[in-house]
Amino acid sequence: MNPNVPSIEQLQELGLPAPVSYAPQTWGWWVLLAVLVLAALLIGIRRYVQWRRDAYRREGLARLAQLRGRSDDLNALRELPELLKRVALSMPTQSSNWNPIPVGASLLAKRPAQSTFLAPDTPLSRAGSLPQGVGALRRDDWQVFLQRHCKKPLPADFSEQLAQLAYAPDDTLRALPAPQRQALFETCQYWMEHHHVAA
């Protein structure tokens, strides 16, 4: 056999190159990675704080869904204005006039506070002695407050409809047509879902 003729026995495996590292090779990539991790952490913290801050909103919407399920019940209709006022009182705010419910406290917990609605015939002298803030708002001021915190226009007589639910005789509430009741529930739900608060 001729020694110059190549054969299979002479083949050898080729050497593989060194594995490529996935770690960044320069300090700029490490800085970019640190910025991305920090940004993700800040976004996560902000979303968690927002989720905690909106606990009152979720609780109010859950209670509204319960009331909506028994919309033919007069007690459910009478509770609707009070629920809306509780949600408004619970809004986080920077104003020193209001005392919102602290984070983690229950929206539906009974609070030793003034009545959230004033009777339509309450004299102004007595109304002036009540604490200032959302709890003391009524009629036009309540309507302005609700509209100021809502993105879309509310019915012009929304606060009057709420006052009617709170104070009208039972026969008047029984006479409310079903579409008007549903419209009230839908308006309250929209306001609870979409009202904006001071950052």
In terms of average pLDDT, the best of 8-22, 75-89, 106-120, 122-136 is 75-89
Question: Could you count the other beta carbons within 10 Å of the beta carbon of residue 88?
Answer: 25
Closest alpha carbon to 193 in 93, 8, 61:
61
The domain spans of the chain are 50-194
The enclosing H or E element of 54 equals: none
The count of other CB atoms within 10 Å of the CB of residue 185 is: 18
Cβ burial, residue 142 (10 Å; 0-12/13-18/19+): buried
Q: Give the Cα separation of 98 and 89 in Å (integer).
A: 7
- What mean pLDDT is predicted for residues 129-151? 73
**Nearby residues of 117 by Cβ (< 8 Å), 6 or more positions away:** 81, 82, 85, 138, 162, 163, 166, 167
CA–CA gap between residue 60 and residue 150 (Å, rounded): 16
- CB neighbour list of residue 97: distance below 8 Å, 6 or more residues apart: 132, 133
pTM for the model stands at 0.62
- Quick check: 9 pLDDT over 90? no
- Residue 143 identity: Q
Q: pLDDT at position 63, please?
A: 92
Q: How many helices (H) and strands (E) does the chain have?
A: 8, 0
Selection from 194, 191, 195, 189 nearest residue 62 by Cα: 189
* pLDDT above 90: percentage of residues in the chain: 15
The structure tokens listed for 60 are 């109010």
| pLDDT top residue among 177 and 197 | 177
Are 88 and 188 in contact by the 8 Å Cβ rule? The answer is no
β strands within the chain, DSSP E:
none
> At residue 38, does pLDDT exceed 60?
yes
- Look up residue 175 and give its DSSP letter: T
